[in-house]
Amino acid sequence: MNSNFTTILRLILALVLLVFGSNKFFGFIPAPELSPDAASFMSSLTATGYVLYFLGILEIWIGLLLLFKKWVPFALLVLVPISANILLFHIFLDLPDIIQAIVVAGLNAILIAKYWKAYRPLFQ
Protein backbone atom coordinates (compact mmCIF):
# COMPACT_ATOMS: atom_id res chain seq x y z
CA MET A 1 0.00 0.00 0.00
CA ASN A 2 2.82 2.43 0.69
CA SER A 3 4.81 1.89 -2.50
CA ASN A 4 6.16 4.84 -4.41
CA PHE A 5 3.82 3.99 -7.29
CA THR A 6 0.77 4.16 -5.01
CA THR A 7 1.97 7.40 -3.47
CA ILE A 8 2.49 9.02 -6.87
CA LEU A 9 -0.94 7.93 -8.12
CA ARG A 10 -2.58 9.13 -4.89
CA LEU A 11 -0.90 12.53 -5.16
CA ILE A 12 -1.79 12.91 -8.86
CA LEU A 13 -5.43 12.10 -8.12
CA ALA A 14 -5.41 14.49 -5.15
CA LEU A 15 -4.05 17.34 -7.27
CA VAL A 16 -6.54 16.69 -10.07
CA LEU A 17 -9.42 16.77 -7.58
CA LEU A 18 -8.12 19.91 -5.87
CA VAL A 19 -7.70 21.76 -9.18
CA PHE A 20 -11.07 20.78 -10.66
CA GLY A 21 -12.87 21.18 -7.32
CA SER A 22 -11.43 24.68 -6.87
CA ASN A 23 -12.34 25.52 -10.45
CA LYS A 24 -16.02 25.09 -9.57
CA PHE A 25 -15.67 28.08 -7.22
CA PHE A 26 -13.12 30.29 -8.96
CA GLY A 27 -13.53 29.40 -12.66
CA PHE A 28 -9.85 29.71 -13.60
CA ILE A 29 -10.08 26.95 -16.25
CA PRO A 30 -12.16 28.09 -19.21
CA ALA A 31 -15.11 25.85 -20.00
CA PRO A 32 -14.63 23.85 -23.20
CA GLU A 33 -17.04 24.03 -26.10
CA LEU A 34 -19.78 21.49 -25.35
CA SER A 35 -22.33 19.74 -27.50
CA PRO A 36 -25.89 21.12 -27.15
CA ASP A 37 -26.94 18.17 -24.96
CA ALA A 38 -23.90 18.50 -22.70
CA ALA A 39 -24.34 22.27 -22.46
CA SER A 40 -28.01 21.80 -21.54
CA PHE A 41 -27.08 19.29 -18.84
CA MET A 42 -24.38 21.56 -17.38
CA SER A 43 -26.67 24.60 -17.45
CA SER A 44 -29.33 22.65 -15.56
CA LEU A 45 -26.78 21.71 -12.91
CA THR A 46 -25.68 25.33 -12.66
CA ALA A 47 -29.30 26.50 -12.45
CA THR A 48 -29.88 24.50 -9.27
CA GLY A 49 -27.51 26.85 -7.49
CA TYR A 50 -25.95 24.16 -5.33
CA VAL A 51 -25.03 20.96 -7.21
CA LEU A 52 -21.74 22.12 -8.71
CA TYR A 53 -20.70 23.83 -5.47
CA PHE A 54 -21.47 20.69 -3.46
CA LEU A 55 -19.53 18.63 -5.98
CA GLY A 56 -16.63 21.09 -5.72
CA ILE A 57 -16.63 20.82 -1.93
CA LEU A 58 -16.59 17.01 -2.16
CA GLU A 59 -13.76 17.03 -4.70
CA ILE A 60 -11.68 19.41 -2.57
CA TRP A 61 -12.37 17.39 0.58
CA ILE A 62 -11.48 14.08 -1.09
CA GLY A 63 -8.40 15.68 -2.64
CA LEU A 64 -7.23 16.92 0.78
CA LEU A 65 -7.83 13.51 2.35
CA LEU A 66 -5.75 11.89 -0.38
CA LEU A 67 -3.06 14.57 -0.24
CA PHE A 68 -2.60 14.24 3.54
CA LYS A 69 -3.13 10.45 3.48
CA LYS A 70 -6.07 10.51 5.87
CA TRP A 71 -8.88 7.96 5.50
CA VAL A 72 -7.66 7.10 1.99
CA PRO A 73 -9.84 3.97 1.54
CA PHE A 74 -12.90 5.95 2.64
CA ALA A 75 -12.03 8.87 0.34
CA LEU A 76 -11.65 6.49 -2.60
CA LEU A 77 -15.07 4.98 -1.93
CA VAL A 78 -16.69 8.42 -1.75
CA LEU A 79 -15.04 9.24 -5.08
CA VAL A 80 -16.51 6.18 -6.89
CA PRO A 81 -19.95 7.65 -7.71
CA ILE A 82 -18.37 10.98 -8.64
CA SER A 83 -15.83 9.42 -11.00
CA ALA A 84 -18.48 7.10 -12.44
CA ASN A 85 -20.74 10.07 -13.22
CA ILE A 86 -17.87 12.04 -14.74
CA LEU A 87 -17.10 9.05 -16.96
CA LEU A 88 -20.75 8.52 -17.93
CA PHE A 89 -21.22 12.22 -18.70
CA HIS A 90 -18.32 12.07 -21.13
CA ILE A 91 -19.39 8.76 -22.68
CA PHE A 92 -22.94 9.93 -23.38
CA LEU A 93 -22.64 13.71 -23.78
CA ASP A 94 -19.04 14.79 -24.41
CA LEU A 95 -17.02 11.96 -25.92
CA PRO A 96 -14.19 14.09 -27.37
CA ASP A 97 -13.08 15.21 -23.87
CA ILE A 98 -13.22 11.76 -22.26
CA ILE A 99 -9.48 11.56 -21.47
CA GLN A 100 -9.78 13.44 -18.15
CA ALA A 101 -12.66 11.21 -17.09
CA ILE A 102 -10.69 8.07 -17.93
CA VAL A 103 -7.73 9.36 -15.92
CA VAL A 104 -9.84 10.10 -12.83
CA ALA A 105 -11.81 6.83 -13.00
CA GLY A 106 -8.68 4.83 -13.80
CA LEU A 107 -6.67 6.30 -10.93
CA ASN A 108 -9.60 5.72 -8.60
CA ALA A 109 -9.89 2.07 -9.71
CA ILE A 110 -6.14 1.41 -9.46
CA LEU A 111 -5.96 2.93 -5.98
CA ILE A 112 -8.98 0.94 -4.81
CA ALA A 113 -7.21 -2.20 -6.03
CA LYS A 114 -4.05 -1.13 -4.17
CA TYR A 115 -6.03 -0.57 -0.94
CA TRP A 116 -8.19 -3.70 -1.40
CA LYS A 117 -7.15 -5.16 1.98
CA ALA A 118 -9.00 -2.30 3.67
CA TYR A 119 -12.22 -3.28 1.86
CA ARG A 120 -12.12 -7.03 2.56
CA PRO A 121 -14.17 -6.83 5.78
CA LEU A 122 -17.03 -5.30 3.77
CA PHE A 123 -17.40 -8.58 1.85
CA GLN A 124 -17.22 -11.09 4.70
**Mean pLDDT of all residues in 14-26:** 97
Query: Which residues touch 44 (CB under 8 Å, ≥6 apart)?
Result: none
Range 98-120 burial, b when 16+ CB lie within 10 A, else e: eeebeebbebbebbbebbeebee
In this structure, what DSSP letter does residue 115 have? T
Q: How far apart are CA 66 and CA 26, in angstroms?
A: 22
Q: Residue 89 — pLDDT band, cuts 50, 70, 90?
A: very high
> pTM score, two decimals?
0.93
In this structure, what DSSP letter does residue 31 have? P
Task: Summarize pLDDT for 35-86 with one digit per residue, the tens.
Answer: 999 999 999 999 999 999 999 999 999 999 999 999 999 999 999 999 999 9
